[in-house]
Structure 1
Amino acid sequence: MTDVATVPTSDHDPFGPDALEDPTRMHAQLREAGPVVLLARYGVYAMARYEQVHAALVDWQDFQSGAGVGLSNFRYEKPWRPPSLLLEADPPRHDAPRRVLSGILGPRALRRLRDRWFAEAEALVEEVLSTPELDVVPALAEAFPLRVFPDAVGVGEEGRENLLPYGNFVFNAFGPPNSLVTEAMPDMPRWSEWVNAQCAREALSGDGFGAAIWAAADRGEITHDQAPLVVRSLLTAGVDTTVHGIAAMLYAFATHPQQWRRVRERPQLVRAAFDEAVRWQSPVQTFFRTATTDTTIGGAVIPEGSKILMFLGAANRDPRHWTDPDTFDLERDPSGHVGFGMGLHQCVGQHVARLEAEALLTALVRRVERLELVGSPLRHHNNTLRAWARLPMRLHTQPD
């Protein structure tokens, strides 16, 4: 066993503008530095290799989420909002809400949504193809999830524009209180008030995911105090992550035209394309855990109570696990990527996101010969998410 002082130290700031713009070089350096690295700026430990990130994600006993999945340590700091019962809780508190939501978002519910969502995707693609050039972030990546997912939850149309900035703030708040957090703070009460209001039983339609959550409370599967928090988890994590996953997929195909030809020739690759895009771009870049005991990793000890930053994006491009990891390749089997987490806290809504992406991509594959970038893409900086603010494209509907 190596003394904790021998853990490599890094001066990298994963929440600085350079790293948020392009973390590739930092990820490579952290992976090479060792299985665990001390980030001196924040006094937290970090893992960037696939083996250690995967192991920490599945080991909820030694690496807890209940002390917060952000930089803030709930053992000593008061959360800025009631913690998520899905993301920021461990067994047994985590079990009932997870079980309820897993059932509600199961295969039967997705089969009911499938035809409707595919029709909505066809209609949206028909709309956007009337414009020769467009920014696909608002026109497709944002528009489709905001059109179908709140409907599925049972949220009305008025005020849906609050979902994206609210989710953006939540994911920013997992990092340090930098300008990305402080500049949005004045608007946060308004966004939060709207989202919380949508979680009430009376605000939801009677046939959506939200109503099903409240029905589970009536049956005693969760408490009535927990029900709005479970609905809130859906609205918090179910929009931004899907938006940025779809944007990553569109960017991947625009920059890898041979892969677009491949998916058009073999439409059965549509489902794997989203997962490969999530692996390649990792819309959720990081999450924290807290050590519940002195834990040995790679011969070094992480002390009990220490915060550990897991670089999901770095793990998804670790050449120790993936062949040619920096390439978007539909011949790859992307299963096992950690873009949706892993283990007990793996994203409970990942199959919903996959269905949204499958519906939209299927509609595009049928109509679009080629996706072409026609301007400079612009990154959207977030302390946790890797996202695009702008992706100007031309969608070619005729062969070149």
Structure 2
Amino acid sequence: MVTATSPAPVLDIDPFSVASLSDPRPVDEAIRESGEIVWIQKHGLWFTGRHSVAEAIFRDYETFESSAGTGVTNTKRAENWRKPSVILENDPPSHTKYRRIMTSVLSQRVVRRLTEGFQEQADRLVDEAVTAGEFDAAALAESFPLTVLPDAVGVNPEGREHLLPYSNLNFQAMGPRNELYDRAVEAAGEAATFVNWQMRREALAPGGLGHTIYGYVDEGEISEEDAGMLVRTFLSAGVDTTIFGIQFTLLALAEDPSAWAQLREDPALARKAFEEGLRWNAPSPYIGRTTARETEIAGVRLGEGEKVIMALGAANRDPRRFENPDVYDLSRDTSGHLAFGTGIHGCVGQMMARMEATCLLSALARRVETIELAGEPVRFLSNWLRGFEQLPVRVTLR
């Protein structure tokens, strides 16, 4: 815990207040520019918004563990609302096996095999959306991943309305137990019951990624329960972040006609447009680690069992790492952005997310001549995510 002699700045701000979540940039800047590591008095947590510090924490998994939870709660000391993930909230050596399995299930070969079908679905959804000339880009960005990923996993069509409430609760619970968390609990209703049912082998459609995971049970590598937990990862962490990443990319392109013109003339830039969108506004702006032993960051001593929250939205706009970081720039080299994390816990589904975004953005680029905002975007308020409830746009067709 911070002491009077500690050189770490103590900030009197609340990153999880409605005001902060409605306008997060000043909070990000305060965290990042006040020091390499800061103490948030309101929540009794360490934060860092410096790219170099966050990257180092990601890579030092022996000192900064994930198995105590990746939110604000130390799940080794306080019970969480669900069982911990065997991959996201796990450390080596146990983590290694599950990581290897998920990397195989979501390999480049698998993603390539799925691409054609995903692209066909993206083309259909875009054609339906743009015909009216004005549409909600937030809804388009939501409907595509919420269709293609569950289809690929083998999720039953009936009950999919529970997926977003469940995922919302998962991410709200990463933050403090505030009003947003309470609302998520109420809105989730029977979502947890559906997800627990859907995780089972017999609930999954044959031939999907879910059954591929259960194949490792048949080979004796993991238990039936482990396989269900890996399927749950798709249902709790594989949709929202992709949705919001696409939304921020569309916002940037709607606000910058020159950037849209580049993409329109060369739809092959869709992947690059998405990467810069992730850097410009990380859809998952925070991720936590817990000190497994006493350590030091920038001269500040941390004891064992202390939470450090990496402010990824701040780190991805760190001027020490990226020139003119507040500007969305399609010519930028985005390598090193931390929206997917890095190291052994880097997002295992990032190739899938990139492919989904590339399909949707390239479909729009081939169909749309111009795009602009048609109204004020409405933010989605979340302790642990950033995105929009509404993103009205106006387009002209090619």
The TM-score with structure 1 as length reference comes to 0.97
Aligned residue number for residue 302 of structure 1: 302
Worse-matched range after superposition: 260-269 or 381-390? 260-269
Aligned residue number for residue 370 of structure 1: 370
Corresponding pairs, count:
396
1:312 aligns with 2:312: yes
1:382 aligns with 2:382: yes
Aligned positions of 1:1-400 closer than 5 A: 5-138=6-139, 140-398=140-398
Alpha-carbon distance in structure 2 between the residues aligned to 1:380 and 1:198: 27
CA displacement at 1:188 relative to structure 2: 3.1
Alpha-carbon distance in structure 2 between the residues aligned to 1:88 and 1:174: 12
Deviation readout 1:338-383 (Å, 9 max, x if unpaired): 0011111111001101111011111111010111111111100100
Deviation readout 1:150-207 (Å, 9 max, x if unpaired): 0000112111121111111110100001111112223435111111111100110111
Deviation readout 1:22-43 (Å, 9 max, x if unpaired): 2211221222211110111111
Alpha-carbon distance in structure 1 between the residues aligned to 2:183 and 2:32: 32
CA displacement at 1:214 relative to structure 2: 0.5
Alpha-carbon distance in structure 2 between the residues aligned to 1:184 and 1:213: 29
Alpha-carbon distance in structure 1 between the residues aligned to 2:26 and 2:179: 23
Unaligned runs of 5+ in 2: none
CA displacement at 1:267 relative to structure 2: 2.6
Contact 1:286 1:384 (8 Å CA) reproduced: yes
Structure 2 SS opposite 1:214: helix
Alpha-carbon distance in structure 2 between the residues aligned to 1:167 and 1:69: 15
Alpha-carbon distance in structure 2 between the residues aligned to 1:59 and 1:358: 32
The TM-score with structure 2 as length reference comes to 0.97
Alpha-carbon distance in structure 1 between the residues aligned to 2:5 and 2:288: 19
Residues 71, 375 of structure 1: alpha-carbon distance in 2 compared, 3 angstrom cutoff: same
Alpha-carbon distance in structure 2 between the residues aligned to 1:246 and 1:61: 33
Name the aligned partner's letter for residue 337 of structure 1: H
Structure 1 SS opposite 2:225: coil
Unaligned runs of 5+ in 1: none
CA displacement at 1:266 relative to structure 2: 2.6
Name the aligned partner's letter for residue 93 of structure 1: S
Deviation readout 1:86-128 (Å, 9 max, x if unpaired): 1111112211111101001001111111111111111111111
CA displacement at 1:4 relative to structure 2: 5.9
Residues 198, 4 of structure 1: alpha-carbon distance in 2 compared, 3 angstrom cutoff: farther
CA displacement at 1:78 relative to structure 2: 1.2
Contact 1:4 1:302 (8 Å CA) reproduced: no
Contact 1:62 1:293 (8 Å CA) reproduced: yes
Worse-matched range after superposition: 178-187 or 148-157? 178-187
Contact 1:4 1:301 (8 Å CA) reproduced: no
Contact 1:20 1:381 (8 Å CA) reproduced: yes
Name the aligned partner's letter for residue 98 of structure 1: R
Deviation readout 1:60-99 (Å, 9 max, x if unpaired): 1010010011111112101211001111111122111111
Contact 1:100 1:221 (8 Å CA) reproduced: no
